[in-house]
């Protein structure tokens, strides 16, 4: 009679791992490709001013509700300045810039937060906040208009919603790749997924973020010129920003273009901004 040999469970696990063929399953990638085509075709929007086609998969109402909720939560945790000359200047400049924006669904709100941060942010629906730490760098109304024009442009261009769509698409793509390499050895799967994560971050998400920042710079420049602020202050502002913050990471690792890149772009766009300024502000 034949005797059945018992194999320890740990050896069985090793044998299963060794017997994996390492073949790539094609069907998850094909399904993802078909989904990608449908997704892009059915979620197209156009960015105002630039005319760029963008990918957005939530309604404006959903986006505005998310922005309002986040804005209220942030303000509840910050030292919001209710009145004073700085608040008055902020709201006067913001009112002038917002007045030239063709976005009737925006519910503009501008607040000043006491903080050493040299920063500002915009959330969907027109919710904008500026930190007092940036005011010594803006120096004047034209510099502040540059910052506000940039943040207003983010809201109008719906950059937040577009980033959410890109992140969702990246997640679905990662799941598809994970399913396609499911028969490979565990170490191989880790290597592939790790490389995919790095590639999507540095090849897709960060470049798109920098593209959004440059687009907001351009749109904001057009807005401030139409609002009769001096567009030539924009590159000067970024010269001061570069001087105030010398520890910026390399551009390819950052969500924002390098200050030198932004200054160069503003110089490139300046003739157009000056023509707009002259046409709207003859006096």
pLDDT tens-digit readout, 42-95: 788 899 999 999 989 888 889 999 999 999 999 999 999 999 999 999 999 999
Per-residue pLDDT of the chain (283 residues; tens, 9 = 90+): 444 455 455 554 454 444 445 677 887 777 777 777 877 777 888 999 999 999 898 888 899 999 999 999 999 999 999 999 999 999 999 999 999 998 888 889 999 999 999 999 999 989 999 999 999 999 999 999 999 999 999 999 999 999 888 888 888 878 877 777 777 788 877 777 677 667 766 666 777 688 999 999 999 999 999 999 999 999 999 999 888 876 666 665 677 788 899 999 999 999 999 999 999 897 6
Tell me the C-alpha distance between 76 and 144, whole Å: 24
Q: Cβ(147)–Cβ(130) under 8 Å?
A: yes
Q: What is the pTM of this model?
A: 0.81
Average pLDDT of the chain is 85
Active site residues per annotation:
151
Tell me the C-alpha distance between 53 and 48, whole Å: 10
Domain ranges of the chain: 41-280
The pair phi, psi for residue 155, each rounded to 5°, is -65, -45
């Amino acid at each position: 009679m034949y005797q059945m040999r018992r194999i320890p469970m740990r050896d069985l696990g090793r044998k299963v791992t060794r017997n994996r063929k390492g073949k790539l399953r094609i069907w998850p990638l094909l399904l993802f490709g078909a989904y990608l085509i449908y997704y892009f075709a059915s979620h197209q929007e156009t960015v105002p001013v630039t005319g760029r086609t963008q990918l957005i998969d939530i309604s404006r109402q959903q986006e505005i509700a998310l922005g309002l909720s986040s804005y209220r939560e942030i303000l509840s945790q910050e030292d919001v300045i209710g009145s004073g000359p700085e608040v008055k200047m902020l709201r006067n400049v913001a009112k002038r810039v917002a007045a030239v924006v063709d976005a009737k669904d925006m519910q503009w709100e501008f607040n000043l937060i006491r903080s050493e941060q040299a920063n500002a942010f915009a959330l969907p629906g027109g919710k904008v906040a500026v930190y007092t730490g940036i005011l010594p760098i803006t120096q004047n109304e034209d510099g502040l208009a540059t910052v506000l024009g940039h943040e207003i442009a983010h809201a109008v261009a719906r950059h937040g919603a577009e980033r959410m769509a890109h992140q969702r698409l990246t997640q679905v793509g990662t799941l598809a790749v994970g399913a396609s390499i499911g028969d490979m050895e565990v170490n191989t799967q880790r290597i592939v997924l790790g490389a995919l994560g790095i590639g999507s971050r540095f090849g897709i998400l960060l470049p798109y973020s920098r593209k959004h920042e440059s687009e907001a710079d351009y749109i904001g420049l057009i807005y401030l010129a139409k609002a009769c602020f001096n567009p030539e202050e924009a590159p000067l502002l970024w010269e001061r920003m570069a001087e105030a913050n010398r520890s910026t990471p390399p551009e390819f690792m950052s969500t924002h273009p390098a200050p030198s890149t932004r200054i160069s772009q503003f110089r490139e766009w300046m003739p157009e901004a000056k023509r707009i300024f002259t046409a709207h502000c003859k006096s």
